């Protein structure tokens, strides 16, 4: 569905078009090598945000370079596309490493006959310019488990083997009802579909409020990929989904437990320091002209609320388990300071 089209049926998210895996041993044909791959993202996109968080927590910034697209997108041949612009640090509107203006060029380098959608994240092989994967879930799990000695010393175990079944089961419910549920509500073709979608969203938020009332993290005593999958939706909720997508039964900030949990994560290295709320608001309100034809970008809410005390440490556990916090954000990747 194009950004300026009124939906005629419920949004259905297509499976990832390219799913090559990169591992330390290269058993799927693509070995993990320093400098070989570039991660193309939008700071606005929740799916891309998951991968950016994981990359930072695992200390892969020095191994996998980052390219950030413009949150406004550009209409090319009738479709909105993720593009590089001067405003996001790409001289001449081309990524300085890949030499491309639009991410779709990496898709077409991989498959000149490709006619499907173009999404972020895009994991691109710098050597040949081919898109390797746009499978955000697999990218997260492989970055967390498959990069061997290239991860930083003290990197956390984000996908513990003993907890994987529980993580996957809970993450699947969160994805269906909440991560994708907000989109089903926002792009609902009629009242019936909207009512069903928004009911799923808030039923899942209600369940998470109860689940997190006695535990600091979703599964286990430290951050896992389950938390990484939930956070990007929560951090966008009041800024975009509550108003723009009509998910307005309650704000995230009206859930005492979830709001504290989200602030706890935001204040943890890897989460808030990879979040650009200006890009979030700009993208959603500017691009989705079928929902917001005036392209007026909402001013709030005040992002400084994310820095207030949460007291979640009283529940025990620690963010990185037996690991340590990542170091400072690389200078070229810093997001605006909220203070």
45 is catalytic: yes
In whole angstroms, give the CA distance from residue 270 to residue 58: 9
DSSP string, 259-277: HHHHHHHHTSTTTGGG--H
177 closest CA partner among 160, 198, 201, 161:
201
Report the C-alpha gap between 331 and 339 in whole angstroms: 18
Q: How many CB atoms lie within 10 A of CB 176?
A: 13
- Compute the half-sphere exposure of residue 271: CA atoms within 13 Å on the CB side of its CA: 26
Catalytic residue among 37, 45, 107, 159: 45
Q: Is 82 annotated as a binding residue?
A: yes
Active site residue 247: no
- Cα separation, 142 vs 66, in Å, equals 17
Other C-beta atoms closer than 10 Å to the C-beta of 10 total: 16
* Cα→Cα distances 59→56, 64, 148, 320, 331, Å: 5, 10, 12, 13, 14
Alpha-carbon gap, residue 65 to 142, rounded angstroms: 16
SS (HEC) of 211-241:
HCCCCCCCCCCCCCHHHHHHHHHHHHHHHHH
Is omega for the bond preceding 271 within 30 degrees of 0, making it cis? no
Choosing from 183, 255, 284, 285, the catalytic residue is: 183
Q: How many C-beta neighbours within 10 Å does residue 25 have?
A: 9
Enumerate the known binding-site residues for glutathione: 82
- List, as residue ranges, the binding site: 82
State the catalytic residues.
Answer: 45, 183
């Amino acid at each position: 569905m194009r950004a300026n089209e009124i939906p005629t049926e419920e949004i259905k998210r297509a499976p990832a078009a390219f799913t090559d895996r990169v591992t330390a041993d290269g058993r799927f044909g693509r070995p993990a090598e320093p400098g070989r791959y570039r991660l193309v993202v939008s700071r606005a996109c929740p799916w891309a945000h998951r991968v950016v968080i994981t990359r930072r927590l695992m200390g892969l910034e020095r191994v996998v370079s980052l390219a950030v697209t413009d949150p406004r997108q550009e209409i090319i041949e009738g479709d909105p596309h993720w593009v590089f612009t001067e405003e996001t640090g790409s001289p001449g509107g081309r990524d300085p490493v890949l030499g491309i203006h639009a991410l779709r060029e990496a898709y077409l380098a991989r498959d000149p006959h490709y006619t499907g959608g173009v999404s972020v994240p895009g994991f691109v092989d710098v050597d040949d310019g081919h898109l390797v994967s746009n499978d955000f879930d697999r990218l997260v799990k492989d970055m967390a488990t498959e990069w061997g000695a290239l991860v930083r010393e003290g990197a956390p175990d984000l996908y513990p083997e003993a907890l994987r079944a529980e993580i996957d089961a809970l993450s699947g419910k969160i994805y269906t009802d909440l991560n994708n549920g907000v989109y089903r509500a926002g792009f609902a073709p009629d009242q019936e579909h909207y009512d069903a979608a928004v009911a799923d969203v808030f039923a899942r938020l209600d369940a998470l409020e109860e689940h997190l009332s006695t535990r600091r993290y979703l599964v286990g005593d430290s951050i896992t990929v389950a938390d990484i999958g939930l956070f990007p939706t929560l951090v966008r909720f009041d800024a975009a989904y509550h108003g723009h997508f009509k998910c307005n039964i309650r704000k995230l900030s009206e859930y005492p437990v979830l709001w504290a949990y989200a602030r706890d994560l935001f204040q943890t290295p890897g989460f808030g320091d990879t979040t650009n709320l200006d890009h979030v608001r700009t993208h959603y309100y500017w691009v989705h002209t079928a929902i917001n034809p005036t392209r007026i970008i909402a001013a709030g809410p005040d992002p400084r609320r994310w820095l207030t005390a949460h007291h979640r440490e009283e529940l025990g556990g620690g963010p990185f388990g037996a690991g340590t916090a990542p170091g400072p954000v690389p200078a070229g990747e810093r997001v605006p300071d909220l203070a």
